Structure 1
Amino acid sequence: MSAMQHAWLGNYELSSTTCTGLTFARHSHDECVIGVNLLGEEKVWLDRREFAAGPGSITLYNPGQIQGGGAAEGAPWQFVSLYVTADQLAGDLGLAQVEFDRSLCVQPDLAQRLAAAVKGALSSDARVRELHEEALLLLLGEVVGLSGVRLPGTAATGKSLIGRAQELLAGQLHQSVPLEQLGDELGLSKFHLLRTFQKETGLSPRQWAMQLRTRRAKGLLRNGVAASEVAHTLGFADQSHLNRHFRAAYGITPGRYQSVVKR
């Protein structure tokens, strides 16, 4: 018995699997494979050696490595997997190349955060997926760092560059600006952009854009613009999406706020 969710997030292939006693014949992948074990013990066969990966384990496979194994018959097993080409992962992290030095990292906290990001990225809500894409990329930086790959520093990126990123986001509030586009405009890898932006603002670029959208919505509502028009003008998915973010930020619905400030 098994249940699997499977989706693409940009150039990343993601899956979440809940099963009993599933095994895989020896095989290999063209991509880097990152697995997170949440429940049960996986017996792994990798390049002629065997090891066990229990809950909280992160397994890392380089392209072409022969792997196999799985959970014992009748044993419950829950895991998430992520597949990405080595070139794509290297480019997103600002590295010349990526090759994992370790195949197993036992890091329960990181494993839980990585699994939560993968599951969020499998959401049917496009904006939830986008936010988790950012979280996923930052976590992948942590994973790759743990595996023995040295990540580039961010010291050279100053406030002026982040200010430019904020200008670009503010100028296109009516739509979601892809990380790739923002990174290309600034000459930064997606990971470098995310890490520096968060260091400077405490928010990811999409979170920052959403708080600005919500703030601008407040001004438009105060001036009597209908909530449905505000949602459309500022690029919210719909009015309920505006309601959700406005209430989370200000503790009041747009409709209630508009009736309170009406002159």
Structure 2
Amino acid sequence: MQHAWLGNYELSSTTCTGLNFARHSHDECVIGVNLLGEEKVWLDRREFQAGPGSITLYNPGQIQGGGAADGAPWQFVSLYVTADQLAADLGLAHLEFDCSLCFQPDLAQRLAAAVTGSLSADARIRELNEDALVVLLGEVVSLSGVRLPGSAAVGKSLISRAQELLAQQLHQSLPLDQLGDELGLSKFHLLRAFQKETGLSPRQWAMQLRTRRAKGLLRQGRAAGEVAHDLGFADQSHLNRHFRAAYGITPGRYQSVVKR
């Protein structure tokens, strides 16, 4: 089992054989994605099966239990978050799931991939997957029967302000909560509006700007390690990965070319 916290989300990824859970409850909302195997679920005096591609949803305090049959392979990911936090992230005053099971294989795979990415040892990868998780959780909550608030159009000026704030803090990662508070938007609304305007999440946009500015500094002859530090890359190898992905050349090779 892998287990970690990502901001306010508690995440786990489990691969096992014949695991069973006694009847229990949680203080948080629980969202589970079944990737392999058949899970037999007991929930509030009801029983049902959740096979691969199923997303299970539990409200705080609901009594649940179950698992896979003895000897049967089972793989799943789980996400735990308080109802108040999830509601705030999605721009809701209150949140309660109206159904317990959704069969959505494509969404299940995307959600599982985001949870797995959020367990990465690379902080930047974790942050990018946090963005993805918020958007995907909006889809999950909508499928569960909860109606998300309508998103009023966000003008270009507000997105431009978001870009200004990101640019001012390139040396460090600007938390989505802080950026949303500055703009008066929920995380979900911010991500959806920013992506609609730019085609990127705020963190992806900040990374491309960070990489572009690195190119300018390298052209001036600045040392790659110094550039990486000043622009908020985790280290020089982190700069190397993003620079090569963007421009098809390493920072060192780029500097040797422009010196000619």
Range into which the TM-score falls when normalised by the shorter chain:
over 0.9
Q: CA deviation at 1:152?
A: 1.7
Alpha-carbon displacement from aligned partner over 1:28-73 (angstroms, at most 9, x marks no partner): 1111000000000000011111110000000000111111110001
Question: Counterparts in 2 of 1:115-134, with a 5 A limit?
Answer: 115-134=112-131
Percent identity, aligned pairs only, is 89
Q: What RMSD over aligned residues (CA atoms) do the two structures have, in Å?
A: 0.8
Secondary structure at the counterpart of residue 79 of structure 2: strand
What is the CA–CA distance in structure 2 between the aligned matches of 1:185 and 1:61, rounded to whole Å?
A: 32
Shift of 1:156: 3.0
Q: Deviation of residue 9 (structure 1)?
A: 0.7
State the shift of 1:141 in Å.
0.5
Classify the secondary structure of the residue corresponding to 1:65. coil
Q: Normalized against structure 2, the TM-score is what?
A: 0.99
Residue type matched to 2:243 in 1? F
Q: Which amino acid aligns with 1:62?
A: N
SS in 2 for 1:151: coil
Q: Distance in 1 between matches of 2:118 and 2:56?
A: 19
User: CA shift at 1:224, angstroms?
Assistant: 1.0
Q: What is the one-letter code of the residue matched to 2:189?
A: H
Match of 2:154 in 1: 157
User: Which of 4, 9, 13 lines up with 1:12 in the alignment?
Assistant: 9
Q: How many residues align?
A: 260
| TM-score using structure 1 length | 0.97
> What is residue 24 of structure 1 aligned with on the other side?
21
Deviation at 1:125, TM superposition (A): 1.2
The correspondence of residues 239-254 of structure 1 with structure 2, limited to 5 A, is 239-254=236-251
Q: Secondary structure at the match of 1:16?
A: strand
- What is the aligned counterpart of 2:235 among 230, 233, 238? 238
Cα deviation digits, residues 175-200 of structure 1 (max 9, x gap):
11000110111111111111110111
Alignment partner, residue 191 of structure 1 = 188
Quick check: 1:98 aligned with 2:95? yes
Please state how far the C-alpha of 1:153 moved relative to its aligned partner: 2.3
Q: SS state of the match for residue 183, structure 1?
A: helix
- Name the SS for the 1:244 alignment partner: helix
Deviation at 1:228, TM superposition (A): 1.0
Alpha-carbon distance, 1:164 to partner: 0.3
Mapped to 1, the partners of 2:214 and 2:8 lie a distance apart of: 33
After superposing on structure 2, the runs of 4+ consecutive aligned residues of structure 1 that deviate more than 6 Å are none
The aligned counterpart of 1:222 is 219
Give the secondary-structure state (helix, strand or coil) at the position aligned to 2:222: coil
AA at the equivalent of 1:29: H
Which residue is 1:170 aligned to?
Answer: 167
Q: Distance in 2 between matches of 1:19 and 1:190?
A: 34
Letter in 2 for 1:135: A
Task: Return the alpha-carbon distance in structure 2 between the equivalents of residues 193 and 80 of structure 1.
Answer: 26
Structure-2 separation of matches of 1:200 and 1:148:
28
1:136 paired residue number: 133
Is 1:39 the counterpart of 2:45? The answer is no
How many Å separate the matches in 2 of 1:229 and 1:124? 23
